[in-house]
Amino acid sequence: MNQIQVFISGLILLLPGAVESHTAVQGLAGHPVTLPCIYSTHLGGIVPMCWGLGECRHSYCIRSLIWTNGYTVTHQRNSRYQLKGNISEGNV
């Protein structure tokens, strides 16, 4: 019984980190593209987010395009990269 309790506790600890989504988005060169990203601020709280070119690691982005501290944009590589949702509500 103790082994089952340990496994379930470990699983619950891992779930809040599972924010990733692998939705395929297609676009045309030179045209705007919206990349959907929504996460629950009720479960994990307000967290910093970043977007970059190439692979994104757990805590940082390679060749970052835009960063948020969870409330506002803190770094924007170019004005063409924008967050249009309500950042503090997890709709970025």
Token pair, residue 31, equals 């045209």
pLDDT over 90 at 74, yes or no: yes
Q: CATH number of the domain that 69 lies in?
A: 2.60.40.10
Question: Considering its fold, how many domains does the chain have in total?
Answer: 1
What local confidence, expressed as pLDDT, does residue 76 receive? 92
What 44-53 contacts at long range (C-beta under 8 Å, 24+ apart), as own/partner pairs, is 44/16, 44/17, 44/19, 46/70, 46/71, 46/88, 46/90, 48/74, 49/92, 51/81
> pTM of this prediction?
0.59
pLDDT at 18: 42
Which one is predicted more confidently, 36 or 69?
A: 69
- Greatest mean pLDDT among 1-10, 16-25, 28-37, 47-56 lies in 28-37
Q: Which domain holds residue 90?
A: 35-92
Q: Which percentage of the chain shows pLDDT scores above 70?
A: 70
Give pLDDT, residue 59. Answer: 66
Residue 66 lies in a domain: yes
pLDDT band at 11 (very low <50, low <70, confident <90, very high): very low
